Amino acid sequence: MSVTPAPTVDAAEVLRRQDPQLADVLLGELARQSTTLQLSAAENFTSPAVLAALGSALANKYAEGYPGARHHGGCEVVDVAERLAVDRARALFGAEHANVQSHSGSSAVLAAYAALLRPGDTVLALGLPYGGHLTHGSPANFSGRWFDFVGYGVDAETGLVDHDQVRTLARTRRPKAIVCGSIAYPRHLDYAFFREVADEVGAYLIADAAHPMGLVAGGAAPSPVPYADIVCATTHKVLRGPRGGMVLCGSELAERVDRAVFPFTQGGAQMHTIAAKAVAFGEAATADFAAYAHQVVANARVLAAGLAAEGLVVTTGGTDTHLITADPTPLGADGRTARNLLAAAGLVLDCCALPHGDARGLRLGTAAVTTQGMREAEMGRIAALLAAVVRGEVDGARARGEVRELTLGFPPYPAAHPASYPA
């Protein structure tokens, strides 16, 4: 990451003259992110260049439609940003078509469904208790209300996707689409297997690759693009761009996907975010990013092994990706209690479902700490500290001090000196 001034510090100084309350919020959050460990599997630190695009005048521009065919005047400059984002996404992922307008990962999934399905259609997806996303059929989400979702699961022993069940459910329920992708699955998915099942029953295959897409960009995970009819993803998470979504597909679905995003499910595109996506795709195409993606996985493997050695039950026995899920019960605390103890100690992570039983587990990832420059040695320290906190061997304040000391050696925005943080 380049050592240019952190835009959040500059922005807070501009803001301070007008609105000191919000300036304190900006700097307070920067301090929190810089002095605690961001182990949430979905989070990362975008570069100062990405933040600069997000905070730019492109935020002012209305641009409904697509480059060269907008419903507003004055789009000639922002059109360049969107063309760059589309071209870079296509090249990065080897896709015939890319739509970069989705406001989020969820809106990208909504667009994929809108492009391929009608209300009431049957869709086969990983069940929510096994790591399916809300958009994979939750009754609290549009997906569960408008489609007939059938959930497949993971093997209770191995934690791996139950391929036999996927095949059986596909044959008996004849879904219009099969979704593969998860918020908590630590292993690579077998996209060729899902393609084969989809072909056998005449279903579309939608890959929701929000989590691994950054690893795909860096060549550290297999790509769903050659297999899926539509690939949805976020541009944040491991990919390290701005919060947002994208949809990739072949040329034959391009028009349907574009119409599904705008005007079917969204209005005006957010041009500052699209410019930031272009910046992030540019970064993700570099050799530095490929090295980063491989280091993310190497770090996750060491962290998973460290947690297992401390006595946590690591789902699937390890990881292929940035993501780890683990049951802390053998250390004397359930997932929720452990998460709260860890949060107080400055180790920020999430709870998740576990393949066996109703107990909640811990979900963590190495995307953010790897961006900070942490490597295998630091993963060992984090595993030991995490276990000590959950076991109650070290009190919150002392653990908090250790975390602070560790993070100060790896500032996510080096130019934002801790002296600029509010006390």
Ligand X SMILES: *Cc1c(COP(=O)(O)O)cnc(C)c1O
Coil, helix or strand at residue 245 = strand
Q: Answer yes or no whether residue 106 interacts with ligand X by CB under 6 A.
A: yes
Closest contact distance (angstroms) between CB of 245 and ligand X is 6
Q: Is 385 annotated as a binding residue?
A: no
Residue 19 appears among annotated catalytic residues: no
Q: What angle do CA 278, 279, 284 make, to 5 degrees?
A: 95
Out of 4, 40, 56, 104, point to the residue binding ligand X (CB under 6 A): 104
Nearer to ligand X, 331 or 353 (CB): 353
User: Which of 38, 135, 141, 265 is close enough to bind ligand X by CB under 6 A?
Assistant: 135
Q: Which of 10, 64, 155, 402 is catalytic?
A: 64
CA 385, distance to chain mean position in Å, is 25
Residue ranges of E strands in 21-108: 37-38, 65-66, 69-70, 97-99
Q: Is 252 annotated as a binding residue?
A: yes
3-state secondary structure of 123: strand
Q: Is 160 annotated as a binding residue?
A: no
Selected catalytic residue, list 10, 24, 62, 173: 62
Stretch that binds ligand X, among 98-106, 149-157, 373-381, 399-407 (CB under 6 A): 98-106
Closest distance of CB 266 from ligand X, Å:
13
Q: What is the three-class DSSP state of 37? A: strand
* Using rule CB under 6 A, residue 183 touches ligand X: yes
Say if CB 64 and CB 267 are below 8 A apart: yes
For ligand X, which stretch binds (CB under 6 A), given 100-108, 263-271, 300-308, 339-347?
100-108
* Residue 42 sits in the site that holds ligand X (CB under 6 A): yes
> What's the CA gap between 194 and 125, in Å, rounded?
11
Shortest Cβ 206–ligand X spacing (Å):
11
Q: How far is the CB of 89 from ligand X (least distance, A)?
A: 16
Distance CA 180, CA 132 (A): 9
- 64 annotated active-site: yes
DSSP secondary structure letters along 179-217 = EE--SS--S---HHHHHHHHHHHT-EEEEE-TTTHHHHH
Out of 67, 105, 306, 335, the only residue in the binding site for ligand X (CB under 6 A) is 105
DSSP conformational letter for 260: I
**Distance of closest approach, residue 109 Cβ to ligand X, in angstroms:** 6
CB under 8 Å to 371, separation ≥6 — which residues? 1, 44, 45, 240, 292, 412
- Residue sitting closest to ligand X (CB): 105
Active-site amino acid positions? 62, 64, 208, 234, 237, 243
Residues lying near ligand X in the complex (CB under 6 A): 42, 104-106, 109, 133, 135, 181-183, 208, 210-211, 234, 245
